[in-house]
A and B are shown apart, each in its own frame.
Chain A
Amino acid sequence: MKENKKTYWKGLEELTNDESFVRNAEREFPEGPSNLDGSSRRDFLKVMGFSLAAASLAACEAPVRKAIPYVNKPVDINPSIPNYYASTFASGGDYASIVVKTREGRPIKIDGNELSPITKGGTNAIVEASVLSLYDKQRLSDPYINGEKSEWAALDAEVKSKLASAGSVKVITNTIISPSTEKALAEFSAAFGGAEVITYDPVSSYGITKAAEMTYGSAILPTYDFSKATVIVSFGADFLGTWISPIEFAKQYVQGRKITKEKPVMSRHFQFESNLSLTGANADYRTPIKPSQSGLAILALYNAVAKQAGATTVSAPAVEVEYLEKAAKELWANRGKSIVVSGSNDPNVQVVINAINDLLENNGVTVDFSRPSHFRKGDDAKMNQFVTDLKGGRVGAVVFFNCNPVYDYVKGAEIAESISKAKVSIATNGTMDETASLVQYVAPDHHYLESWNDFNPRKGEYSLSQPTISPLFNTRQAQESFLVWAGISTNYYDYLQENWRSSLMGTQSEISNFQEFWDRSLFNGVYSTPSTSSAISGNADVAVAASAVAKSYKADNAGVELAVYTKVGIGNGSHSNNPWLQEMSDPISKATWDNYLTVSQKWANEHGLKMVEGATRKAKITVGDKSLIVPVLVQPGQAQGTVGLALGYGRSKAGRVANGLGVNAYDLLDSSKGFVNFDVTEGVSVELLTDTYKIAQTQTHHTYMGREFVIQEATLADYKQDASAGRYKPQIYKEGEFVKPSKISLWKGHQYSQHHWGLAIDMNSCIGCGACTVACQVENNVSVVGKQEVLNRREMAWIRIDRYYSSPEGASSNKELEQAADNPEVTFQPMMCQHCNNAPCETVCPVAATTHSSEGLNQMTYNRCIGTRYCANNCPYKVRRFNWFKYHDNKDFAAVNVAQNDDLGKMVLNPDVTVRARGVIEKCSMCVQRIQSGKLTAKKEGRKVQDGDINTACATACPTDAIVFGDMNDPNSKITQMLKIQEDTISAVKEVNEERAYHVLEEINVSPNVWYFTKIRNKDKSEA
């Protein structure tokens, strides 16, 4: 075909290359619609596509109910960024300086305040759990008049007019350690003709304060310092668990228990007690004694010490107490650096204790009366007098200031009967408890997390508490109520500030501006005045006290004796409506949701009682004319001829959680000698009934069956000889030689190029208090399952403390090994996911729901889990927990699992942690949410993660720093140094040179990232 050379023009415009033609030539429609809106067909399609997609996406979104955005964002509230506020936990005289973590305005977690010179960053179970009480729906939401909801104005008007004409006004309170509260009360008192403030403590230390008065002239508690004591002797004082200020004492105590190869010294601890307490469980030498012998044992100790000191001895009936002589000898050898304490509430006994400490030159060193503590101010005598007056109709008005004597005072029943004899009765209690429900006016106080207050736990030490949320209910701070009734219109915050301005501002010269001083104190949470200590001395007549003691104690009481004690989790019972505390496994008995009569193994054998899997029988305990029916728990270590019963149970009006659990042991206490005696030595009888009962224990097998691959321990003497004493080092035969199990593996092994997280747990420091278990529950939204499910062995705890008793000496057969010794040695072993590098759980999951992270963590992907439970079966540590039911939003669990069912309770949930669905496995994540947040913070700040940036909830809570978390790839981290990881390696298997460090179940080479340090007992020779 011939090429066509002709050009055809579309028109003249093209030929002339007209400008307007060129512009229009590219367009689809040279004229018309496309000119109108300036957008093309493509644009139209894009817009339509987008709007369609947007409309359909919007339609898919779940409806948002009542989400109210901030119009102006508060300066310090950033979604998903927590804020921390220093504050103070105080319940009566129980004290801890704390840091409150809030998220989007909700307090969700309580940590210890490390700036506090008293609690030093430690917490305990009650403090950790107290955040849930804030969201307790059983708290009163309004003031009440005669049981009817009312208004504050109406209540104030009535109270003011009635109080004015009531005559004698009494304020009943537990120990107040707040100076501003005391001042407010004084104003109230002044306004109503010198109203008397009567202080009592449910668990009284009146004996100590009274003895101090007798010895040194002022009714005070001394400051104890266990850290300076190389020999510790305690007669029934559970100072690590429940006695006076356990967090503080645990912090001190453990300083003498941490040992290294370079410094192989530790304190020696003697405990003489009836019930096996947490403290007794940690003692090197523990002798079970009857309460009736305790006074004589103390006299014997006094005489033994006095003999060596050349002081006059006192006459005392002889008493046979094992290790008492030894204790006396060692105390004398370590005079000036030893301590003797007694939990007795008998002033005469405490006078002797004071005398012993004086002889041992401990006064002013380990027992310091020149720096009084204010934890207990209760006066049993005055309280007793009040009850008499109330019964006699001599009390015009009574105000119960956040106390519940109807429940927790020995004469509660008498108070209950006679409250109506007072013309006016008022309570400031936050719940309608046993006392509040009997009074005319209830003016409910805020929860402490909603309140301003100050505290003076010890001479020269102050702390503040501040609100971390605006009040949830129509409550009013009790101090403000007192001020209002006294006719003072200042609000309590201003009052508090004014008090600090006038009384504390002047104690420092550093800051001249009060606001600055206040802000700094509030920021730190604590403030210490410069110490002005003046030596205190005095001398009570020991002989008089001794003869009184000799008279009231017996060496050979044949009858049964009752030793009433407090549990670590439940304490005096004021927090018992908290399901976290109820479900917390008791450190010693491992029981939950109950109190019970602890009996010795011998008694159980004699009565044919065998406790299997929590199944037991009930007994009737009778004291005088009162009797209670209570289940029996066989407790190794219980002194022969004694039974123990815990306080804090048998609440009838605590709320939905605690009502009806256990029996009230306050009823059985003895107040015949002018003080509340927690040891009932006469008129006690116990009758075993045929009724069966099941106690929900989380651990029903109590010995470690001599398994060295689980528990490795040694005596200090052996440790000094050989730092690896007590270590079990399995060797496996391979090609002609024996090698460590870690040298044989199927796996190629992981490489951790960045971090390698791990935990080091010192079994010597762990006192078993269980603060970590509650902290974990709070941090990780762990479900509470209730008593029945604990009985079904389905508690959800991610971390537990295994408590093992030693078997009797010479036990060899399985049957014998299963039995605990009568007075066993106790070992605590915190157990959580071991984050194995060769994890048996990871290989068996069919859907890869549990996998290994690049930082050494064993991760659980709840979304992917289908719940075969194969991983849990194959976990040699049995730390995996299955969601047997739907625990959240399920009415079957609403009564116990408050934090996941109740609309208010849910506010405590940690938004960083998923609430697990039914049918999935969960377990310790090594607080992966904290790790992520720490890494993000470091990244934002453009630096590497440093040791201490990140800490797990358990390690943070631990009052004894027994759990250390860190990066084993970081040569400067504490954990690396503790474990002496020398090799600079990114391999998962680290070469650990610390002789005490071991893996539980080393021989199966699952290669955990959790290391345990052998338990060392300061004994001369090993014995069971």
Chain B
Amino acid sequence: MQVTSSVREPLITGGKTLKDVTHDISRQVEGKPSMAWLLALLVSVGVLVLGGLALVATLWEGIGMWGLNKTIGWAWDITNFVWWVGIGHAGTLISAVLLLFRQKWRMAINRAAEAMTIFAVICAAMFPIIHMGRPWLGAYWALPLPNTFGSLWVNFNSPLLWDVFAISTYFSVSLVFWYIGLIPDFATIRDRATGIRKAIYGALAFGWDGAAKTWSRYESVALILAGLATPLVLSVHTIVSFDFATSVIPGWHTTIFPPYFVAGAIFSGFAMVLTLMIITRKVFKLEDYITIVHIELMNIVIIITGSIVGIAYITEFFIAWYSGVAAEQYAFVNRAFGPYWWAYWSMMTCNVISPQLFWIKKIRTSIVATFILSIVVNIGMWFERFVIIVTSLHRDFLPSSWAMFSPTWSDIGVYLFTFGLFFTLFLLFAKFFPVINMAEVKSIVKSSSEKVNK
């Protein structure tokens, strides 16, 4: 039995009972899809299809459809990849790290955040494959599979290979973690459903019987998976950052990257969770479960990680100056004052300056301000990756090869495709899966709801 201080803000408002919880959340799954949802799905699928055209064009004609060139071999592709992976991190952080730290406020948001992780990682994982010149081969040649080419193995020195392992591990652990959490809730829906729906949710519930032993095993598994997932929060983006940190290119070859990337990932992940949650709570009328307290707490995480990222940016500059390496110094001056200055200052404004607004309580607890800033942060984090990748590559060692990058419709289309995919998946999830972990939330109704304090 946990004791909750009455000083703390309640985590559930509106005097919800256990029955209310079940009803409020199952209602979304059971009811007819709302007009708003259908419209949103239509838009998402539309974007998916439109973006899909760009994807097909790229796969059919070649990577030349993008704006890349002899100097800049990666641009939007890897920017999007890192961005999506980063977004995924919040889900894992919320469900695993906060679980281990016994942060109960996570309970209302972890389901959706984990779903976001899964979908973001799916979007992210697409890019390393489609950015290949020959994805039809690369998709499996990048795996250490036994083969008939003699003793031909992958190159274990390559950070790209480490990515393959990092992302696939991350995806599998996140998926299992998410799904295990869903099982009791599927059982709840199954128990309320009839007909074909009962059969489907019954199958999804894996025969959950709600016995004490089952609950005990469920909690053990959740804890073990949380333990497994926690290092992944740190390792995945660390490994992603190795793609750059282990290279020789000025602006990439930076030892600060691992912590800086992890902080950035959490930063952008929380921003994305906020964006999605603010819409979900509104659309599904879940204001009592996802309260202003949640939003404020997430905003605090954003201030912290945003500040870490800001310090990292400044440290990079200091180190470039302190190193005395001319090419390195130029790379950083060029970031801020070169032809891509606008990308750099967009990044600085969005990532370093705008989150500082959250020091003000009024902004921190304002839904509208939070929503806007969460989008601003995600724009900023996209620019961060763009700045690192493109402005470092476009002017490296030999001035003869300096070039500019400008995106083509295919670059934009493929990015849109992932947006379409992400939102389509998220909307399907929001409609057909319980968006809040009912079982977990019920466990705090008695201790942390508004009713308890009154």
Contact = CB atoms under 8 A, between A and B. Distances in A.
A699 B68 CA distance: 16
* Most B C-beta atoms less than 10 A away, residue of A709, A789, A845, A867: A867
Contact of B133 (A613, A789, A869): A869
Q: Give the interface size class of chain A.
A: 35 or more
B402 interface: yes
Contact of B142 (A707, A794, A831, A846): A846
* Most A C-beta atoms less than 10 A away, residue of B67, B138, B152, B397: B397
A789 B70 CA distance: 11
Interface string A154-185: 00000000000000000000000000000000
Nearest to B162: A846
Interface in A853-909: 864-870, 872-874, 876-878, 880-886
Contact of B138 (A868, A876, A884): A868
A919 interface: yes
Contacts of A613: 403-404
Interface string B155-166: 101111100100
Nearest to B128: A868
A80 to B, nearest CB: 25
Given A844-B247, A918-B62, A878 B398 contact: yes
Contacts of B61: 885
A748 to B, nearest CB: 13
B402 A700 contact: yes
B248 A847 contact: no
A1001 B133 CA distance: 29
Contacts of B247: 840, 844, 873-874
Given A700-B403, A848-B154, A1001-B397, A873 B133 contact: no
Given A846-B158, A919-B62, A919-B63, A866 B153 contact: no
B24 interface: no
Contact of A884 (B63, B246, B393): B63
Contacts of B146: none
Contact of B397 (A710, A792, A800): A710
Contacts of A795: 70
Nearest to A590: B400
Interface residues of B, number: 55
A703 interface: yes
Given A793-B70, A868-B138, A884-B62, A919 B397 contact: no
Nearest to B73: A869
A814 interface: yes
B129 to A, nearest CB: 10
A1007 B63 CA distance: 31
A545 interface: no
A495 interface: no
Given A847-B142, A866-B141, A885-B61, A920 B133 contact: yes
Contacts of B161: 846
A675 interface: no
B257 to A, nearest CB: 15
Nearest to B329: A814
A701 B248 contact: no
A684 to B, nearest CB: 33
B360 interface: no
* Most A C-beta atoms less than 10 A away, residue of B326, B330, B400: B400
Interface string A812-829: 001000000000000001
Nearest to B66: A884
A936 interface: no
Contacts of A870: 73-74, 158, 160, 243
Contacts of A803: 400
B317 to A, nearest CB: 15
B71 interface: yes
B70 A881 contact: yes
Contacts of B337: 814
Contact of B402 (A701, A709, A792, A869): A701
A621 B130 CA distance: 48
Contacts of A865: 133-134
B13 interface: no
B212 interface: no
B64 A847 contact: no
Contacts of A700: 402-403
A800 B70 CA distance: 13
Contacts of B443: none
A868 B70 contact: no
B313 to A, nearest CB: 20
20 contacts: A703-B399, A704-B399, A705-B330, A792-B69, A814-B337, A843-B158, A844-B160, A844-B247, A848-B153, A866-B133, A866-B135, A866-B141, A867-B134, A870-B160, A873-B247, A882-B73, A884-B68, A886-B62, A919-B62, A919-B132
Given A701-B399, A869-B133, 9 more contacts: A709-B327, A831-B400, A843-B158, A844-B159, A845-B155, A845-B158, A846-B142, A869-B74, A920-B133
Interface of A: 613, 699-705, 707, 709-710, 789, 792-795, 800, 802-804, 814, 829, 831, 840, 843-848, 864-870, 872-874, 876-878, 880-886, 917-921, 1000-1001, 1003-1004, 1006
Which 9 A-B pairs give the minimum distances between C-beta atoms? Answer: A867-B133, A919-B133, A884-B64, A866-B138, A869-B73, A793-B69, A802-B400, A878-B401, A846-B160
